[in-house]
Each structure stands twice: as C-alpha cells, then as structure tokens.
Structure 1
Amino acid sequence: MAMLSAGLTAALTLTACGVPPSDAIEAGEPASGIFPRSEPSGQAVVSLYFLADGDPKAYPRKIDHPVDLRTVVGQPFYGPTRGEAVTATTQLPHLTDTPGVSADGGSDVSIKLPDDVAPLSHPAMLQLACTVAHVSGSLAASPANARRNEALASTSVHVLGDGRTTSQTADDCPSPRQS
C-alpha cells in the first residue's frame, strides 16, 4: 500500500507543476530551409565534392574560420578523409600547397595549378566546379545569399597550368541536399 501511495503522490506531483495550459503562441515566420551552419568552435561546415560511383557528391566538412574561397577550393586537393573515403574517391591530384584562386566578382573562378600537374580529367573538373558553385552558400548562410544560390549553376571554373586552360561549368552538379 505504501508503494501505491508513493507512486500516486509522485504522479500527482509531476502533473501539477503549476503551469496553466495555453494555446499555440505565434512568433515569426515558419522554418523555411536549411542553411550551412557555423559551429561554435570556430568552424564552418562546407560542402566539398568528391566522387561516389564516379559521380560528384557533396561531403560536408568542418573547416576552421576564417573560411574563404581559396581555403575551400584547396580542400578537395587533399583528398577525402578516412571517414569520407568509405564512399568517396577523387581524381584530383594531391597538392602540398593550396592552389592560387581568383574570382571575377561574378560567376567565373580561376584556379592556378603548379605547372608540373597533368591536365585534370572531366570528373576532377566536375569536383572543382561543384565545390566552387556551392561554396558561396556555405560562406554566409543568409536569405540574401539563398537568392544568389539559385544562380550558382552558371558558375564556371577555369583551371590554368603549364600554358593551358581547362574550363567546366557547374550545370551537372547535384545540390548538397540531393547528394
């Protein structure tokens, strides 16, 4: 009987906390999408594109702040991490230094590789074009930037090295959410 009484007392105590019930409280706009997030530890999460079964696929990766275009573009050249390598491969060469990167302020990005690097394959060019096309959304998660992301498919990457230029658009890139 004492056990039943103790259980009943505990149940009544938990249900009678003194907070009156209320209707739903409206506050602001409903949720409208997922933006790349910044980690409190001074890191940002960006989408790097590697190959999964030969097709470009986004792999989220934490990168230390400050995050800029040159830093993000250099990441795929280091290859997938051990965890990513379970499903990811790369056709990008391993570079010991971050390549030179310049943007024209529009949708063209140039990447200067060392002269001793062989021409990049089509899948490697897609990896770069997809990473560059989606890096803008990762650099600043804001509604204004979301509008800019709609035009990212028109991004063109130009890889320069040893007197040649190879270009690739991001037309065939899956979005990070589709990957």
Structure 2
Amino acid sequence: MKGARGTALSAGLAAALTLMLTACGVPPSDVIEAGEPASVVRHPSPTPSVPVVVSLYFLDDGALTAYPRTVGDPSDLGSVVAQLFGGPTTGEAVTATTELPRLTDAPDVTADSGNLVSIKLPQGVARLSRPAMLQLACTVAHASGPFTVLPADAQRSGAPATPPVDAQRSPADTSVQVLGSGWTMTQSADSCPDLPQP
C-alpha cells in the first residue's frame, strides 16, 4: 500500500511541476543531448631548469677574480646579482673580498634588448667604488649571455658540447648602469679579465 501511495505522490508532483512550468511559459521538452561530458586536459609540467655554473667576480688581493657559483635559473639575472651582493661564501672568503655593500633589500635588475643592464639599488646606498662597479660589470657580462646546456647524452658520456656562436660573444659588449639615491654610475665590461679556461 505504501509503494502505491509513493508512486502516486511522485507522479502527482511531476504533473504539478510540468503544469507550473507550462504556465510560466516554459515548453516541455525531451532530454537534450549536449555532447561529450566535460574533461580536464592536463598539460605536462614545465621542464625544470638545469642548474648552471656562472662566475661571480670578487677581489683576490685587489685583482678581479672569477669564482664559480651554481644557479638554478640562469635566465634570472636578478638572482645572480643578488648572490654577488651577498658576498663571498665562507669557502670563498679564504681568498675573496668584495667592495660591494650588503643590501637590506634585493636590487631591481633589468636588461634591455641591447647590452645594457640596469641595477636599481635600495634607498640610502652610497656611491660604489670603481672595483665594486667592475665586480658588477664583469659578473653581469659573463652571466647575461645565452647559456648552453649539454644534451642528456653528452652529459652522460662527458663529451663537451660546442656552444653556439652567440654564446661566445665578448663580454666587453655589456655595460652596467647602477642607479642609487641621487646618483647614477655606468661601467663597461671592456676591462674584465677573461674567464679561466676549463
């Protein structure tokens, strides 16, 4: 008896709902096919960048000297400059010193489409010395060019890869412009020492 009442109640509700929708101007219709159900397209994860060794220039008995550092993203020039301002590591400090000040905030680094890199320092930083400007210019000159990553098979076999011609450009083409509080200095990299050959 209960089952018959439930079925009658359901049928009555369906009829009432249809009557209400029709009275509101909504015409009855059959099931509408709308195509395939929605699906999620998963894009492959971006390829992680391969760590690359760059040269940070510190002073060894006053002479500009390249110290190798590994960076995770070689295209992030701001990170390279921030590491330089961070000074020598404990191991490097055995021979390396720096004329660059420790910064309270990271500098703002921008590179134009040519060979000029601008570095805006936080407020209150005094004018830099010539050795400090050369540290920046030489580091940026050697870090701002295209980077070559060995193909996976060459990395396994240990065979050296020949870098593209544009990766071998002279660092002397690069200039650094440093903007401080009320002062601006520019330094070319034309007097930078060559990187040591592996």
TM-score where L is the length of structure 2: 0.63
Q: Which has the higher contact order (CA 8 A, sep 6+)?
A: 1
Gaps of 5+ in 2: 1-47, 150-161
User: Which residue number in structure 2 is paired with residue 172 of structure 1?
Assistant: 191
User: Which residue number in structure 1 is paired with residue 26 of structure 2?
Assistant: none
- Greater CA radius of gyration, 1 or 2? 2
CA distance in 2, matches of 1:59, 1:118: 25
1:44-69: per-residue Cα shift (whole Å, max 9, x none)?
21110001111211000112336511
User: Which residue number in structure 1 is paired with residue 172 of structure 2?
Assistant: 153
Higher strand share: 1
Deviation at 1:137, TM superposition (A): 4.5
Counterparts in 2 of 1:97 and 1:115: CA distance versus 1, 3 Å = closer
Q: Is the 8 A contact 1:134 1:149 kept in 2?
A: no
Q: What letter matches 1:143 in structure 2?
A: P
Counterparts in 2 of 1:173 and 1:139: CA distance versus 1, 3 Å = same
Q: What letter matches 1:77 in structure 2?
A: F
User: Which residue number in structure 2 is paired with residue 78 of structure 1?
Assistant: 86
User: Which residue number in structure 1 is paired with residue 131 of structure 2?
Assistant: 123
User: Which residue number in structure 2 is paired with residue 97 of structure 1?
Assistant: 105
Could you say what secondary structure the match of 2:105 adopts?
coil
User: Which residue number in structure 2 is paired with residue 18 of structure 1?
Assistant: none
CA RMSD of aligned residues (A): 2.4
Counterparts in 2 of 1:161 and 1:53: CA distance versus 1, 3 Å = same
Aligned with residue 51 of structure 2, among 28, 34, 43: 43
Q: Identity of paired residues, percent?
A: 60
Counterparts in 2 of 1:171 and 1:67: CA distance versus 1, 3 Å = same
Counterparts in 2 of 1:164 and 1:57: CA distance versus 1, 3 Å = same
Q: Is the 8 A contact 1:68 1:139 kept in 2?
A: no
Gaps of 5+ in 1: 1-39
Runs of 4+ aligned residues of structure 1 deviating over 4 Å after TM superposition are none
CA distance in 2, matches of 1:170, 1:101: 17
1:142-161: per-residue Cα shift (whole Å, max 9, x none)?
722x4343232121100001
Q: Is the 8 A contact 1:46 1:138 kept in 2?
A: no
Q: Is the 8 A contact 1:43 1:64 kept in 2?
A: yes
